[in-house]
Amino acid sequence: MLAASSRKHIANAGRLGSGPALGPNTRFSCIAGAANAEWMTEMDALCILVVDDHEVNLLLAECVLEADGMEVLRAGDAESARVALRARQPDLILLDIQLPGVDGLSLAREFKADARLAGVPVIAFTAHAMRGDEARFCAAGFDGYLAKPIEVTRFARQVRDFVAS
């Protein structure tokens, strides 16, 4: 779990986002309700793969989702995501659009073409929040869209809603 202290990467109004690159003394604070964690067993826990090349985004998503009782797999690039998917099939994939080496759109198409992953929802997890982006991502094969920075109070529920739909 994440250590408490510097709130350098935590923005106002209950929203989490990335700031400058991580430094050797960067620490995080995460306060989130674990409303579902008390009654969930390991077998009940949702498994979420978060693919993002920004370590801060990975850590924040992991913190919030784990606090809500979910298991989180992390990948910082396309190859790490492929390795994670060979080891475990998640219930949902949160996929950044801008990754080094391959864009998220191509990677989403690759995942959807894999018969083993075809039923796993792939959600665009991106800072692209311009008018029309959500429709463009869904037309490209994504099953939904979550904008960054995340809203801590809503993020875990949004992820659970995507899994349920």
Report the predicted TM-score, pTM, of the whole model to 2 decimal places: 0.76
Mean pLDDT (whole number) for 63-83: 97
Mean pLDDT (whole number) for 76-80: 96
Residue-level pLDDT at 13:
35
Instruction: Report the phi/psi class of residue 69: left, alpha or beta, with left for phi > 0 and alpha for psi in -120 to 50.
Output: left
DSSP state of 2: P
Residue-level pLDDT at 127:
85
80, with CB counted inside 10 A (0-12, 13-18, 19+), is middle
Residue-wise pLDDT for 23-56, tens only, equals 554 444 454 444 444 444 444 689 999 999 999 9
Q: Which residues on adjacent β-strands are paired with residue 71?
A: 47
Do the Cβ atoms of 145 and 134 come closer than 8 Å? yes
Residue, of 19 and 110, whose pLDDT is higher: 110
Residue-level pLDDT at 116:
95
Residue-level pLDDT at 22:
53
Do the Cβ atoms of 28 and 2 come closer than 8 Å? yes
Q: Which residues contact 68 (CB under 8 A, 6 or more apart)?
A: 32, 33, 34, 35, 36, 37, 156, 160
| Per-residue pLDDT at 15 exceeds 60 | no
